[in-house]
Amino acid sequence: MDLAQHLSRLPADPRVVVSGNHATPWHTLGLLDAALPSYRLWALNAQPGVPDREGVVLETSFVGPGMRRSPRLSYVPSRLSLVPTMFSSVMPPDVVLLHTTPPRGGKVSLGTEVNVLPAAVEAVRRRGGLVVAQVNPRVPWTHGDAELGVDVVDVVVEADEVLPHAGGAAVDEESTRIGSLVAERVADGSTLQAGIGAVPDATMGGLVGRRGLRIWTEMFSDSVLTLERAGALDPDVPITASFLFGSEELLEWVDGNPRVQMARTEVTNDPGRIARNPAMTSVNTALQVDLFGQANASRIQARIHSGFGGQTDFIVGALHSPGGQAVIALRSWHPKADVSTIVPMVEEPVTSFQMSAVVTEQGVAEVFGHSQGDQARNLIERAAHPSVRDELREEAAQLGLLPAV
């Protein structure tokens, strides 16, 4: 039975879970879109090009650029670690569309994107749904939870599709300053949550002289490869992540590499498991941080921009780790909006709070373990842009955080 025949047997308006981020199987997704007049498309961090038309509801718990401004977006707030629970309860999938390696030894590998997909496959199999794999010789073979038995796949679609690559982020003077301040907080033997972008790259660049570092992260990019080649990582501890994105060189390095163990989201983002890592250091960013230490990392003028992602999972896990810390790193001034990122009180829903410290190019504001007044004072004097400090002091006094000036 071919793909079209399988799709014709689906219930009306089926829910389709597809590999997101930068691992979307575009060819097969196009075939599915042509065959189904209406359906619900569930993808994490969907990239431009996902079907966005009448009849398609775009579902996600982390909004990517392919869904961000769509009138058909249905945002489902959730910590990323809890998305698998939704698949097994309130949002069961009817189809799971994967992007995999060709079969080898009775298995395929999910390559660069594991994330919530194993949970989606298990949920759809329990209810007799459909699993479709687009097999692509360009997908790197990764180990761990990325490996699935071919017996869980109902339909195979072959497609030789070029995988997207990430160029190195431009590391400017402000990013370098922030990265170096964060790196100063990281001791030998720490465990890192690594991301992608100028500040994470700058942070990692400042750690090449450390030794015995570990990686336990939601995602990683080329900066981890830089640490590995510098001898900064503990060679006896595998690199654990749920998805990855980077250069062609990075994809070649992870292909078949036992050093890299891909794990499902319920593992990487479980705060309890995160907390078991020694000196877990979580580095995240935000759109705004207020004088109460609350961070908005997901909304702009009430419109959803991204989502909780793994930020809440990793902040909680890191703070419970022996010697752990959770850092919010951001510029003190938003270059596009031309406003301060340190504000009296966030007007958007809060993404996270009670981090260890807030780091900008201005300095380091310690938050955890300080009174609310000292938190506010540290944020104003050490993290905020100098041009708004007087205004923030006045606002802090009105909020009862500091004595009246």
Distance CA 346, CA 405 (A): 22
Helices and strands of the chain, counted as H and E runs:
13, 28
Q: Could you tell me the sign of the dihedral formed by the alpha carbons of 75, 81, 82, 84, in that order?
A: positive
Which one, of 255, 216, 218, lies nearest residue 233 by Cα?
216
Residue with tokens 């909780």: 308
Q: Which long-range contacts (CB under 8 A, 24 or more apart) does 53-61 make?
A: 57/13, 59/15, 59/91, 60/20, 60/307, 61/86, 61/307, 61/308
Cα three-residue angle 166-141-199, rounded to 5 degrees: 30
How far is CA 276 from each of CA 26, 308, 316, 321, 328, rounded to the nearest angstrom? 38, 22, 12, 6, 21
Q: Is 395 a catalytic residue?
A: no
Q: Which of 59, 147, 174, 218 is labelled catalytic?
A: 218
Instruction: Give the DSSP letter string of 238-255.
Output: -EEESEE---HHHHHHHT
Q: State whether residue 360 is helix, strand or coil.
A: strand
Kindly give, in sequence order, each residue whose CB lies less than 8 Å from that of residue 382, ignoring residues fewer than 6 positions away. Answer: 362, 363, 364, 365
Catalytic (active-site) positions: 218
